[in-house]
Amino acid sequence: MPSGNVDLGAIFCVQHERTVASDNTVTVGGLLLQIAPQSSRWSYAKCRVKVCEHLDGRWSVRYGPHLLGWYRADGQHLDAKLKLTPDRKDFSSPPPRGEEMGDNNNQ
């Protein structure tokens, strides 16, 4: 059955609620995740966010309907600019593993 516009990545994950620290970071599972400044808001300090631990080991941070960032399993931020391809027009799900920051398989 097709899933339509449902974000399955936000459903099939382990979700943790956290409060963002004053330095715009979230700690979960021994990792420190740095939330980058967003176009809609500079800081999320003191906000309650949902930290999602995805089945492939990566993490995402969400504030309501807003996706604040993707992170590798080691907590390193994935740059959203690397994820946009002609066939991927949104950032609601993680990029294929070959598109992660630091992966230089094409060289």
pLDDT in tens, 39-48: 888 899 999 9
The pLDDT assigned to 105 comes to 44
pLDDT band at residue 81 using 50, 70 and 90 as cut-offs: low
pTM of the model: 0.71
H-run or E-run covering 11: helix 8-11
Burial class (CB in 10 A: 0-12, 13-18, 19+), 3: exposed
pLDDT tens digits for range 12-55: 999 999 999 999 999 998 999 999 988 888 899 999 999 999 99
Question: Contact, 54 vs 9, CB < 8 A?
Answer: yes
**Residue 50 CB coordination number (10 Å):** 17
Give me the residues paired with residue 60 across strands: 52, 70
